[in-house]
Amino acid sequence: MTKFFIDQHGCAKNQVDGELLISHLVEGKFQQVFNPADADLIIINSCGFIESAKKESLDAVYAARKNYPNAKIILAGCLAERYAEAFEEALPEADGFFGNGDLSKITDAAKKIMKGKRIAVKPAQTGVSCGSRNTLLSFKGSAYVKITEGCSNHCSFCAIPLIRGELRSRAAADIIAEIKTLLEKGVFEINLIGQDLAAYGTGAGDDVFGTGRFALPEIAADRTIVPTKKKSALFLLLKEISSLKGKFWIRLLYIHPDHFNRDILDVLKKDERILPYFDIPFQSGSDSIIKAMNRKCSAAEYIRLASDIRSAFPQAALRTTFLTGFPGETEKDAADSVALLKGIQSDWSGSFCYSREEDTASYNLKGRVSKKEASSRAALLVETQKQITQSRLQSRVGKTYDVLIEELVGEQGTGGNAPDGECYAIARAWFQAPEVDGACVVRYDSDDKKAIDAIKPGCVVKAKAVAASDVDLDCIFISDSGVKISDSEKIKFIPNLLQEDNGQA
């Protein structure tokens, strides 16, 4: 039986792809191992979005070839999808290449590569790769569910349409069935993902409810959003999810601000299990740069959107992203981004420097900004966000929250003995998305039997926030409650930290 090791890179969407690759290979009688030294086959599931991510994935290939010379190596994922033909000659360190289209083709490709055939496979970009995932690359109790694939927004800086194709959406019934299966297997937190959740059901060939294609909101001459008269597909999907029984979290990740469906706020108001957490990548606060990015709204409309969300949910959590150093960005444009950040008061944000990607619309634009200047502007946004985050976290101190336990530290966990018999666990509240936001550090005594019984990875307990640090909340366990999540063995959870210990990025 061929033993394989998967080295996972990139975003949550690529993580789902990695989980599907694992499932297909296991079904094809391959055996997964968790140390690359034990593997006959090493799969680098790569990211190809920006220059730094491409370099990281290529470095992983070079390192794998150097450290495990007897293993076969497949470069899979976005980087392979984008450059497979060129890599056939330029990357001899890899034995084969496999794109991110129809992932069910991986088993046949892997078998051919194991037999010594050097191939580059780019399966068709049709539909949305999905199916059974019996291994999750997440902390226990949490999973991602992909509802769309590809993107038709064509932001001028973005290579995603080149890598993953145009937008297509999964049928609502398939999504609901997958969520039900995950809940039955012990998952508490479902994170809905796609390049733009607001575009769900609007792809050229979409028919997610059997009623035809849905329309995106229009943008008025004053660069404000004009809502569609018909309920959005995302609204209807969330309404169906809301009909499911039980206690769980549904989190929405990645909503393009030009398409934000305000009708979804009504669903969230009626079901607290659908979290008022909004990940909206604004990218810039300058109207001229927003337009050059092939986005339609204005900074003022973005601030109005944030205000509308906070009016509906005063404690809503907002996450955003900024891109600095876009061609033509001036000091004033950069200052406008800082002003937007201060205006929306996002709980969390990320900043990254413009990466000049071939075949994107911005590739040949004039007015290129130096990497040094772009980095300096990103650093200013990071520092601004740090101050806002501290203030937002401070406003949450003194309140009690349900928190999802990710890992144990201290006497009960893996971090050794803590002073005075104190233990603590790393957990997340509803306003903290996996991987990207801060955490709740839950403290409890090692002789507290209720705490020991309740605080386990994948379980939900109540904790009171007593202090805030730069990005985390210091909490104490509330012993009179706890939600046990099933310890089902039907899904194998492999936390990212464990994978990092085994050499994965």
Q: Which residues contact 428 (CB under 8 A, 6 or more apart)?
A: 403, 404, 406, 434, 437, 439, 440
Over residues 4-28, the pLDDT tens digits come to 999 999 899 999 999 999 999 999 9
pLDDT, residue 505, reads: 23
- Cα-Cα end-to-end distance for the chain: 26
Q: Give the mean pLDDT of 374-389.
A: 97
Tell me: pLDDT of 488 over 70.
no
For residue 62, report the phi and psi dihedrals to the nearest 5 degrees. -60, -45
Q: What confidence category does residue 448 fall into, taking pLDDT thresholds of 50, 70 and 90?
A: confident
Strands 460-468 and 473-483: antiparallel
pLDDT for 409 equals 86
pLDDT for 415: 44
Angle (CA) 417 423 424, round 5°: 125
pLDDT at 107: 97
Structure-token pair, residue 3: 């033993």
What would the mean pLDDT of 385-397 be, rounded to a whole number? 96
Residue of higher predicted confidence among 48 and 257? 257
**Per DSSP, what are the bridge partners of residue 405?**
427
- What lies within 8 Å, CB to CB, of 154 at 6+ separation is 161, 294, 361
d(CA 229, CA 251): 25
Averaged over 372-378, what is the pLDDT? Answer: 97
Percent of the chain whose predicted confidence (pLDDT) is above 90 = 84
Q: What is the CA radius of gyration of the chain?
A: 23
Q: How far, in Å, CA of 298 to CA of 221, rounded? A: 11
| C-alpha dist (Å) from residue 195 to 13, 255, 279 | 8, 8, 11
Taking residues 52-74, what's their average pLDDT?
Answer: 95
* pLDDT at residue 187 greater than cutoff 80: yes
Q: What is the pLDDT of residues 324-353, one digit of tens each?
A: 999 999 999 999 999 999 999 999 999 999
Token pair for residue 220? Answer: 């008025």
| Alpha carbons 321 and 317: distance in angstroms, whole number | 14
136, 494 Cβ separation under 8 angstroms = yes
Q: Indicate whether 471 pLDDT > 70.
A: yes
Mean pLDDT to the nearest integer, 34-40: 96
Question: Mean pLDDT over residues 432-446, rounded?
Answer: 93
Q: Could you read off the pLDDT of 347-374 as tens digits, one per residue?
A: 999 999 999 999 999 999 999 999 999 9
Amino acid symbol at 296: K
Mean pLDDT to the nearest integer, 435-463:
92
Q: What digits encode the pLDDT tens for the residues 150-183? A: 999 999 999 999 999 999 999 999 999 999 999 9
Q: Are strands 119-121 and 148-149 parallel, antiparallel or unpaired?
A: unpaired
Task: Give me the mean pLDDT over the 227-246 stretch.
Answer: 95
How many Å apart are CA 217 and CA 259, to the nearest integer? 6
On the question of pLDDT at 313 being above 60, the answer is: yes
Q: What is the pLDDT of residues 119-139, one digit of tens each?
A: 999 988 888 988 888 899 999
Torsion 5-11-15-21 (CA) sign: negative
HSE toward the beta carbon, residue 289, CA cutoff 13 A: 28
User: Across-strand partners of 73?
Assistant: 42
Q: What is the mean pLDDT of residues 36-54?
A: 93
* Average pLDDT across the chain, whole number: 92
